[in-house]
C-alpha cells in the first residue's frame, strides 16, 4: 500500500512536471515504490514478537530469532590458519619452527 501511494505520484510527477519519457517515469516510479515496499516489508510487528515467544518456549536455550545483536555477540570466533613460514625457518611472527621439522638442520651433500 505504501509503495503504491508513493510510486504512482512519483511517476505522475516525472511524467507531468519533469516531462520525462514514459518509460523512464514508469521505471523510476516502480523502483522507488519497490524500495519503499522492501523497507516496509522488513519491519517487525506483533506477529514477529509472538513467533519469538513461541520459539523461546519450544527451545529455551536458543536466542530469539529477531534479536540480531544477541546472535552477533554469541558467535564464537574460529581460529584461522597459521601464518605462512619464511624461508629462513621462522614464522612470520618471528618464532622458530619446531625442532626436527624438515629443512631446519644443517645440509649434507
The answer to whether 27 and 48 are in contact (CB under 8 A) is no
Residue pLDDT, tens place only, 30-52: 999 999 999 988 877 788 888 87
Q: Percentage of the chain with pLDDT > 90?
A: 32
Q: Please, which residues bridge with residue 85 across strands?
A: 91
- 91 forms beta bridges with 85
Three-state DSSP state, 68: helix
65 neighbors 55 (Cβ within 8 angstroms): yes
User: Is pTM beyond 0.85 here?
Assistant: no
Quote the cell numbers at residue 91: 614464522
Amino acid at each position: 500500500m505504501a509503495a503504491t501511494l508513493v510510486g504512482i505520484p512519483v511517476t505522475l510527477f516525472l511524467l507531468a512536471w519533469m516531462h520525462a519519457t514514459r518509460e523512464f517515469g514508469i521505471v523510476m516510479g516502480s523502483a522507488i515504490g519497490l524500495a519503499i515496499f522492501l523497507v516496509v516489508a522488513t519491519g517487525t510487528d506483533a506477529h514477529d514478537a509472538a513467533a519469538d515467544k513461541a520459539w523461546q518456549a519450544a527451545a529455551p536455550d536458543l536466542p530469539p530469532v529477531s534479536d540480531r545483536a544477541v546472535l552477533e555477540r554469541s558467535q564464537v570466533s574460529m581460529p584461522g590458519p597459521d601464518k605462512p613460514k619464511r624461508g629462513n625457518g621462522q614464522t612470520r611472527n618471528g618464532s622458530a619452527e619446531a625442532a626436527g621439522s624438515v629443512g631446519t638442520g644443517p645440509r649434507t651433500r
